[in-house]
Amino acid sequence: MTVATARAHPNIALVKYWGKRDRVLNLPAVPSLSLTLDRFRTRTTVVWGAEADAVELDGKVAPAPRAARVLALLDLVDPRRPPCRVVSESNFPVAAGLASSSSAFAALALAASAAAGADTDPTALSRLARRGSGSACRSLWGGFVEWPLGERPDGADCHGMPLAPATHWDVAMVVAIVSGAPKPMGSTEAMEHARRTSPCYPTWVRTASDDVASARAAVLSRDLERLGEVMESSTHKMHATLHTARPPLHYELPATIACLHAVRALRERGVGAWSTMDAGPNVKVLCERFDAAEVVVALSDHVERVEVLGPGGDPVLEPR
Ligand code: DP6
């Protein structure tokens, strides 16, 4: 029996991953670019060689479909693996809509590979984490991370790549928690629904590479206005594929829209703030760290809870 414990941070896409070209290998239809966050993290222990398979998430036995996703990742580490025990907890509310699957599968890939004595090179782990949840492949590095499309049909070149470390740029991501209610549809299903039924989906795919190129240049030159504009554009194009799907899907709630207007009003007052949303109603606002307090005040008029996060670091393995 061997045991390993890993910690990883969630990431927020600045240019979104939305749509798959291969559902079995989990290969994306578009490239994406993200920021790994600090403070929030998932901590996962894997016992490689237990009496029976067991998965515990946030203090409770995992529901069968979630346990199956976790165990499927262990099978990829070693198809002839022994029974394993996985215990995972996150220090942030799932309701925050902070892509908890990104930190969960990054921490699981690292803990499982270390416990199994397998490859723990971040690129190998990123390929593995991608199979659990696409966005997780970007959480294998801190700071700004790119996930290029790759060209190979087997997905060997489809993994995250560090663009700039957390220390590169002291931005803030201010999260307005609009609702903790269960989402109408999870991201895996929603992106497939958009791919099958939205007339906007081909435009979404066609314009994504240019968005990543622009965001990459903006990150490297620390140009917040350029990054904010491309982030908002990527967000609204992604949500347009949902608004135009059949039947349509709107993750936005009234308070979501109020927050988007508040961010625009901040900009009209000269505060550099830009918004993004993922597959949920919460609004995340990118700004310089010194503007975060003003952004919090503006969002607090519309939601009860606001969190301020900054760029976070790489996943770590806890010493034994
Ligand atoms: C809107 O990574 O959760 O957060 O690969 O099907 O598990 P699966 O999808 P997932 O999708 C994330 C979608 C997004 C945008 C992003 O994080 O890039």
Buried b / exposed e along 238-274 (16+ C-beta atoms within 10 A): bbbbbeebeeebebbeebbebbbebbeebeeeebbbb
Taking the alpha carbons of 27, 28, 34, 36 in that order, is the dihedral positive or negative? negative
Residue in 151, 76, 160, 90 with CA at minimum distance from that of residue 119: 76
Q: Where are the alpha helices (DSSP H) in the chain?
A: 64-77, 100-116, 122-132, 187-197, 201-220, 224-243, 254-268, 292-300
Q: What average pLDDT is seen over the chain?
A: 96
Would you state the structure tokens that stand for residue 58, as one six-digit string?
A: 């946030």
Q: How far is the CA of 310 from the centre of ligand 1 (A)?
A: 20
Q: How far is the CA of 109 from the centre of ligand 1 (A)?
A: 17
Residue in 122, 159, 116 with CA at minimum distance from that of residue 141: 122
- Closest residue by Cα to atom 7, ligand 1, is 133
CA distance 39 to 10: 10
| 128, 76 Cβ separation under 8 angstroms | yes
pLDDT of residue 1: 86
Report the SS3 class of residue 287.
strand
Would you state the structure tokens that stand for residue 90, as one six-digit string?
A: 């996150």
pLDDT of residue 179: 85
pLDDT of residue 182: 76
Residues of the chain with pLDDT under 70: 94-97
| 300, 258 Cβ separation under 8 angstroms | no
Is the shortest distance between the CB of 147 and ligand 1 below 6 Å?
Answer: no
pTM above 0.95, yes or no: yes
Pocket test for ligand 1, best of 23, 35, 135, 146 (most atoms within 8 A of CB): 135
Pocket test for ligand 1, best of 12, 15, 17 (most atoms within 8 A of CB): 17
Is the shortest distance between the CB of 66 and ligand 1 below 6 Å?
Answer: no
CA distance 188 to 123: 23
Q: How far is the CA of 270 from the centre of ligand 1 (A)?
A: 32
pLDDT of residue 295: 98
Is the shortest distance between the CB of 187 and ligand 1 below 6 Å?
Answer: yes
CA distances from 238 to 173, 284, 292 (A): 20, 15, 26
Q: Left if phi > 0, otherwise alpha if psi is -120 to 50, otherwise beta: which for 145?
A: beta
| 109, 132 Cβ separation under 8 angstroms | yes
CA distance 71 to 183: 24
